[in-house]
Structure 1
């Protein structure tokens, strides 16, 4: 397995066709891409498919390399629908991992997996970006002290306190208040700790990002 040593992502406008491959197989969101010998992309490299489908519609699909298959082929997962893609289409290796904008300009904004704003609030300053895959902090950088993270929610702090620096799983059926609890945590963390909360919607949770953003805009959480 080849792991990408690059720590910064490419600018989309600066994409150059330095390393080209061809789609060899399409299985739903999974693409097998063939590259010339000696020009295999690294794991986690972003691949871009640009072109037109059979009816003339523009195609712009970004994929992420997940596996080296051998025989000069890699397997990548598409970050959007693969409708219109065909075998033999040209694939560009960006020679860098997927990167997203970071910094104060991103606060209060909603992004897709590619770091593109989808909240209809205009463009975002993308001069500072960070790759989505990064090395874990070294052990000496971690705080090994056991301490409780005060959420400000009495029933949580009393009956099921959260460990600072740990991970928490909330399990429950539909309509029991999971999103309400998340919104209250975001509110309390901002007020009591001056912290920043990042909400990542995956699968079924994706629409709740808009819900939380709407509540914030309407001052339901401040």
Structure 2
């Protein structure tokens, strides 16, 4: 049994992640703005703590971090991220320092599939999608890219993993696999399938220090 500290637990991917982790017998500590949104889950292995990554400082962060094995962030707010890089500020100023203080190594950050990995290849096809149909999410892409830059330049002591997820529906379509960083192939997956992928991937040592897309197994 492992303990997961989860941010974004009430979001589209996060709520599935919490449910799947609990079903596997793990413990989950979820820091959320609105605890009532998780009231539908009744499980003794779930601890819900009220808070937001925009709280500075975030109360009880070290206490929640102290006995956690993995940290998973699936936070996204297009409107807020259009104004400021909220994920970057939290990861850099609060999350990673707390991980270091408490000896927690593994961290998965869910970014968008159209966020360019730091100093890596970005296909013309993905570039076109980003600058056409996905223009409304420019703030999220910029925030995700700043997170990846910080992790690569200043947090290599942390076992970070970035999942550049394409998400577009509910239900389940199958099993996602990790794509090579330079591969343009990716799938627009469901929230549940991305959650299952995140749960598997954050525990996969081979995924450490990668910023990969995901696609369905053929």
User: If the TM-score is normalised by the length of the shorter chain, which range does it land in?
Assistant: under 0.3
Task: Name the structure, 1 or 2, with higher relative contact order (CA <8 Å, separation 6+).
Answer: 2
Q: TM-score, normalised by structure 2?
A: 0.26
TM-score (norm 1): 0.25
Q: Which of 1 and 2 has greater Rg? A: 1
